[in-house]
Amino acid sequence: MPLFYFNLIDHEGFSRGEEAYAFTDVAAALAEAEIVLAEMALDGLPREPDSRIEVEVLDGDRVLVAKVSLELRRQVFT
């Protein structure tokens, strides 16, 4: 089974995935990344200045990204 690493990015910074996880394919690794991202969101929505939480999935050939971002816009009604 292919090995994947998960890097985490949030308001606290970057955390490099040191441990490899085996998944049957890229789709299974991305499904796990979605779960990890949801768990990160439970700890709080993205905050300024970066306003994103992100899971990078690395498999040796590529980097795939699952990301949640938050944009706050002020609208003025006249």
Look at residue 21 and tell me if it is in a domain.
Answer: yes
Look at residue 78 and tell me if it is in a domain.
Answer: no
Look at residue 64 and tell me if it is in a domain.
Answer: yes
Look at residue 15 and tell me if it is in a domain.
Answer: yes
* The pLDDT of residue 28: 95
Each residue's pLDDT tens digit, 16-71: 999 999 999 999 999 999 999 999 888 877 777 667 889 999 988 888 888 887 77
Q: Could you tell me the pTM of the whole model?
A: 0.78
**Domain count along the chain:** 1
* The pLDDT of residue 4: 95
Residue at 75: amino acid letter: Q
List the domain range (segments joined by +) for residue 8. 3-69
Look at residue 75 and tell me if it is in a domain.
Answer: no
Look at residue 16 and tell me if it is in a domain.
Answer: yes
Is it the case that residue 78 has pLDDT exceeding 80?
Answer: no
Look at residue 76 and tell me if it is in a domain.
Answer: no
Q: Is 22 helix (H, G, I), strand (E, B) or coil?
A: strand
Look at residue 28 and tell me if it is in a domain.
Answer: yes
**Where does 1-78 have alpha helices with state H?**
26-42
